[in-house]
Chains A and B, each alone.
Chain A
Amino acid sequence: MSSDTEVVIRAKHLAKAYKLYDSPKDWVKQQLVGSEKNPYYKSFWALKDISFEVKRGRSLGIIGRNGCGKSTLLQIVCGMTKPTKGEIWVKGRVAPVLALGATFDLEATGRENVLIGGAVLGLKRQEILQKFDSITEFAGIGAFMDQPLKLYSAGMRMRLAFAICAHIDAEILIVDEALSVGDLAFQKKCVDWIDNFRRTGTLLFVSHSTGELSRLCESAIWIDNGRVREAGSVADVARAYRRATFVEKDNMKRFSAV
């Protein structure tokens, strides 16, 4: 029984290929007569070789340029998409604060959206109703809770979404550049909440800001072109990443390698 050292996320040589079909016809052909060896699609390897481990109660920062495979990696950890090769092992309820408010229905009120959003994240109706007051308080949007979401500002929607995520009792929290929308007071509230969460839970944190990363994480990995380029303490990885950004220009052809 060594709860400090138990691994809750383990990735070994993860790779993910998206199948790109030129036309729907190719998809039908692939289904009928295609094989892995002689495919009618082109493979695009978003992730090529990713290995890391996260122990319970630790936090891992993930850094990398646009299109390097960060989002794909997070989707795999959440179980939204499956890896093509390699091993992924995740233990515990995952709360993705990715694309906050993806389930939001603009015509419905905040209250209804809390019920749906909570259900999508795996809460029972009874649990959501019990936590409802607490969610309302955390979001701090007052009487707007009974107004349709189309009347909300972007910041208010984000507040509501984070409030839901903060209440699902997750063991693993996945935060993807989500904190930048709220005002400073709310950002601080979120960071405080994440700090508190880290005492018991595991955190995967994606950000372009090395400052935020150093504030919330102990170790980090830098993903470049689908591979882990640098791994270690957050200070080392952040330094290497910053240095590389000065040296390596933004490559215009980065997305045309498909």
Chain B
Amino acid sequence: MVNLNNRQELPDAPVMHFVDGKAVEPRDYNWLERIGRFLVRPFVEAWHHRDLIAAILRRELRERFSGSMAGWVWAVLAPLISLVTYTLVFGGSATLPNKAQSNSSIDYALFIFGGLVAFNFFTEMAYRAPSLLHEYAHYIKQTMFPAEMLPIISTLRATTYASIGLALMLACQLLFTGTLHWTVLLLPLWFVPFLMFLIGITWLLSALGAFTRDTAYLMMTIAPVLMFATPVFFSHETLGPTWYLLMYANILTGFIETIRDLVVFGRIPAGLVIAWTMFVSLFFFWFGYWFFRRQQDAIADVI
């Protein structure tokens, strides 16, 4: 019989061992260890596959701009035009919620733009996620490809566009008001939970999308509606108290409010809002991961 502990000959040889469809762990773990291992697993795996993630990401980014002469200029031009449009259209007419510190038209444009950066980031993921695994079906079926890394890769790809939008927003703020609020230093604390939220959502939607195309139609149907159920063009602070609280049931509200507070108004968001968005993003991250892993074997068979 084979001695499982005999590691001398192949010191780092990976061992794959399944009995009746379940992976055999080198030893038994108690429930606390199991939870701990589950929580760190997405990070451990992402680190393990970092070169693969980088290679595919590089290809995806190149694909997006290959065949166009101006390349990255388009990625900057599109959000710039929309920012200018909002400034011109909403410039004189709209007012900011009374708590706002200033009321210039550029502030309102930035107010909308901040909402759009977050919302577009979300919709880009929501539209692509259901078909994501189909796009990579030949990888998943025919190579030992870690499919659970695909949502991370596609979220990172979308991050590049969101970052361009965010940089543009900061540049305009600096250009027109001559100063940046110190709170922009806290933006990474907004970005990381938002990324985790989006990766979690993508895990969930891509696993569902692998089984039924309805997921894609569902997202195409609700995303435009969601735009008006999300305070992108208005502030939910102007709504009545019932609606005000109800808006937080829409998870994006907290994220949009936070980015506006940090960049446009220069204030720290309310503690409850921070706690709520944090909770939601962490919940979706691990729930999405759990769901994806649960379906992963079936995914490779049906896709």
Contacts and interface: CB of A to CB of B under 8 A. Distances in A.
Interface residues of A, number: 47
Interface in B116-174: 138-145
Contacts of A108: 59, 62
Interface stretch (B18-26, B81-89, B106-114): B18-26
Nearest to B19: A87
A105 B59 contact: yes
A88 B56 contact: no
Given A24-B211, A124-B51, A171-B13, A19 B301 contact: yes
Contact of A24 (B15, B17, B214): B214
Given A87-B18, A93-B13, A82 B214 contact: no
A125 B57 CA distance: 13
A1 B9 CA distance: 8
8 contacts: A1-B9, A80-B144, A88-B17, A89-B16, A90-B15, A115-B55, A120-B143, A122-B144
Interface residues of B, number: 40
A10 interface: yes
Nearest to A100: B142
Given A90-B16, A94-B144, A119 B52 contact: yes
B212 interface: yes
A88 B59 contact: no
Contacts of B145: 103, 120
**A-B residue pairs, 7 tightest by C-beta:** A102-B142, A24-B212, A119-B55, A99-B142, A119-B52, A90-B16, A92-B13
B28 interface: no
Interface in B286-303: 297-298, 300-302
A125 B20 CA distance: 36
B14 A89 contact: no
B55 A83 contact: no
Contacts of B140: 80
A78 interface: yes
Contacts of A91: 10, 13-16
B144 A96 contact: yes
Nearest to A85: B20
Contacts of B10: 91-92, 171
Contacts of A137: none
Contacts of A120: 52, 55, 139, 143-145
A81 B300 contact: yes
A19 B54 CA distance: 34
A119 B51 contact: yes
B103 interface: no
A57 to B, nearest CB: 11
B144 A98 contact: no
A107 B9 contact: no
Interface string A7-51: 100100000001101001001100000000000000000000000
Contacts of A3: 9
B66 interface: yes
Contact of A89 (B9, B15, B138): B15
Nearest to A7: B2
B141 to A, nearest CB: 7
B18 A82 contact: yes
A121 B139 CA distance: 11
